[in-house]
Amino acid sequence: MSINKEIEFNTIVNDILKNEDFIELKYEIHHGITRLDHSLNVAHLAYNIAKKLKVKEYREITRAALLHDFFKSCEVPEKSFVKHPVVAAKNAKQEFNINAMQENIIIAHMFPLSVTIPKSIGGWIVTTADKIVAIKEVAKYKIPLTVGAVMLFIFNFLCIQR
């Protein structure tokens, strides 16, 4: 990202990144990294896509992308991961007074796993950005950790058998 784009991105999300409740996401693990890092990755990609497509609401889209997973694990039952967008939207509304478009972007970001369909180009951008980023993160961080753990288990098992 160019220096000017990075400055603009930081200006758009600066207040969110200073919010104490949002900063707490650095302690939440998501796709093998922190939920804060995941949210930043999605926001960067959504910002770049919206700018490339010349979508005039790119600021609102970027902010909604950053807030799409704005929840703590204790707020969502473990087995109902598709329900977290509603909690994230509620938290974003309370803390940042998001508009209706941003609320739909956050609630619909799990589509098609959730029943809420994105109503705007921003919704489709964030939904797509989240899927791309999640696949990259899982492939880079979570799968190697899982494979490594399985290999370590097998190695330990074989050593014990001798």
Residue ranges of the domains in the chain?
Answer: 3-134
**For residue 141, which of 26, 29, 24 has the smallest C-alpha distance?**
29
How far CA 107 is from CA of 46, 93, 111, 126, in Å, comes to 16, 12, 9, 11
- Report the pLDDT value the prediction gives residue 144, as an integer from 0 to 100: 57
**Strand residues in the chain grouped as ranges (E):** 29-30, 33-34
69 pLDDT higher than 90: yes
Tell me the CATH number of domain 3-134, given options 1.10.3210.10, 3.20.20.70, 1.10.645.10, 3.75.10.10: 1.10.3210.10
Summarize the chain as % helix, strand, coil (round to 5).
Answer: 75, 0, 25
Q: For 10-42, write each residue's pLDDT tens digit.
A: 999 999 999 999 999 999 887 678 999 999 999
**For residue 11, which of 43, 37, 36, 41 has the smallest C-alpha distance?**
43
Q: For 86-113, write each residue's pLDDT tens digit.
A: 999 999 999 999 999 999 999 999 998 8
Q: How far, in whole angstroms, is CA 81 from its chain's centroid? A: 13
pTM of the model: 0.85
Calpha distance 137→145 (Å, rounded)? 12
- Report the pLDDT value the prediction gives residue 139, as an integer from 0 to 100: 79
Mean pLDDT of 127-131: 94
Query: 82 Cβ partners below 8 Å, 6+ apart?
Result: 110, 113, 114
Angle between helices 121-137 and 58-67 (to 10 degrees): 40
Amino acid at site 113 = L
